[in-house]
Amino acid sequence: MTRQVGPLTFGEHVEIPVHAAGGRRTDSGTYVWSSVDTTWLAKEIGEVTEFHREPPPGLQITDDGVILGKPTAFGSFLWTVNVKDASGGPGVDCPVRLDVPRDRGLTVVTRRLPTAVAGRPYRATLEAIGGDGTLKWSEFGGSSVLERQLQLEFDTAGNLVGTSPLSVLEGEDAREFAVTVRVKDQHNRIGVGVVSLTLKAPETKGGEAAKEEGGCQATGGAPLSWIASLLALGWLARRRP
């Protein structure tokens, strides 16, 4: 039985016969083949093995045992196919490994995110170039900087959202975080990049008020313009007959 096919090229037509031995062949000298399911294998840190009922994207197997089509997703696949002989029994399930090596067509371009303020809602959009269709963002490598420390996550639209607690600052006015992110497109291309995020403490009300008031003040707290007015009134009073 054929155990491995490939490596295959994304988007390139394939026509590959698979083979089995034993049993009784059909009148045409072949067996009867069909697809059972496919396991998308996790090959990189941060990936998750996925199970699908369909064949690998873009491919099919004919009744007489020929893999046809054009691969439309990158990755490694364990394709379970069933082969029956002419006896009409249930057949035998056999795994076939296929590899479609990834290209470098997806790149994270964001290097620094907007500054976040502890205790306030945050929203930021990351950018990538290349890839096709909707992009899916996540933190790479199973790290927990975003979710556990900063309490931020990617929503379905790919925006980084959430509210970071003040406790993350550990008493400091600001902290810098480096986060490794991963982006994946609809064809299973993957891009990885490191982005920086600064988290700062909110300004106190007193500090904000001082900035708004501005100017110089006398020792007693009275603005200089009022003191000047009082001196002018005293001078006018002295000049009256």
Rg (CA), the chain: 33
- Check pLDDT > 60 for residue 233: no
Residue 211 has pLDDT above 50, yes or no: no
Residue range 24-36, pLDDT digits in tens = 887 777 899 999 9
- What's the rounded Cα separation, in Å, for the pair 185 and 108? 12
Alpha helices in the chain (DSSP H): 205-213, 224-239
Is 15 a residue whose pLDDT tops 80? Answer: yes
Q: In the block, which residue shows the tokens 């933190």?
A: 139
> Using CA atoms, how far apart are residues 18 and 62, in angstroms rounded to an integer?
10
Q: What's the whole-number mean pLDDT along residues 87-112? A: 90
**How would residue 213 be classed by pLDDT, with cut points 50, 70 and 90?**
very low
| pLDDT over 90, % of the chain | 61
Q: What is the pLDDT of residues 51-96, one digit of tens each?
A: 999 999 999 999 999 999 999 999 999 999 999 988 878 889 999 9
> Do residues 18 and 7 make contact, with C-beta atoms less than 8 angstroms apart?
no
- CA dihedral (31, 35, 39, 43) in degrees, to 10, reads 60
Q: For residue 206, what pLDDT band results from cuts at 50, 70 and 90?
A: low
Least confident of 39-43, 124-128, 169-173: 39-43
Q: Rounded to the nearest 5°, which phi and psi values hold at 193?
A: -155, 160
235 three-class SS: helix
- Domains of the chain (ranges, CATH numbers): 4-100 (2.60.40), 106-200 (2.60.40.10)
Which residues make Cβ contacts (< 8 Å) with residue 20, sequence separation at least 6? 1, 2, 31, 65, 83, 94
State the DSSP code for 217. B
| pTM greater than 0.85 | no
More confident residue, 48 or 99: 99
Average pLDDT over residues 204-227: 42
Lowest mean per-residue pLDDT among 9-13, 36-40, 47-51, 231-235: 231-235
The per-residue pLDDT for range 187-203, each reduced to its tens digit, is 999 999 999 999 999 98
Q: What is the mean pLDDT of residues 168-197?
A: 93
